[in-house]
Amino acid sequence: MNIPFYNEQVRLLFEAASWRNEWLDQLFNALYYFDTPYFLMILIPFVWVGFSYKWGMRLAFALIVNGLVNFHLKHLFNLPRPIVDYPDLAMFPLTSPGMPSGAAQLVVLLSGLLIMAWKSRWAWAIAVIAIPLISFSRLYLGIHYPMDILGGCIVGLAL
């Protein structure tokens, strides 16, 4: 498989992995669950009940569309994750295709929805912190190439 800028991406992955320590491992392992059904099963009712049923419906619809788009794009591109070439690099044994990063796509989409819902500087501040943190966590965990994350951000922005 021909991955664009492969050597540069691998260099960035190993650079991120060189930062590993106990504290960051715990932080980024916790952020891994941001892209799981468990998080979404908590988020939707929280927004529905705690904020507004209209935003709860919008969120549920957006997350369904997001998941379908991500699934089909992963299988359309069918690009491998770093674990294929570097099994010891990944902190989680994921086997699905890597492009686009579902977590990067999700955090950009949720950030956009948050900014639309709150219309405040706080929403922008949360987005400015969450997007790079979640995106970098995927490099740190060794589960995505940088181009996977860029692709996820672009798709999340488009959604």
What confidence tens digit (pLDDT) does each residue in 79-102 have?
988 888 888 888 888 888 889 999
Q: Predicted confidence band at 75 (pLDDT cuts at 50, 70, 90)?
A: very high
Q: Predicted confidence band at 107 (pLDDT cuts at 50, 70, 90)?
A: very high
Alpha-carbon span 133 to 78, nearest angstrom: 25
Q: Is 12 helix (H, G, I), strand (E, B) or coil?
A: helix
Single-letter residue type at 45: P
pLDDT of amino acid 1: 56
- Per the CB < 8 A criterion, the answer to whether 98 and 148 are in contact is yes
- Per the CB < 8 A criterion, the answer to whether 17 and 90 are in contact is no
pLDDT tens per residue across span 130-146: 999 999 999 989 889 99
pLDDT of amino acid 148: 93
**Cis amide bond preceding 80, omega within 30:** no
Alpha-carbon span 47 to 58, nearest angstrom: 10
With pLDDT > 90 as the criterion, what percentage of the chain qualifies? 42
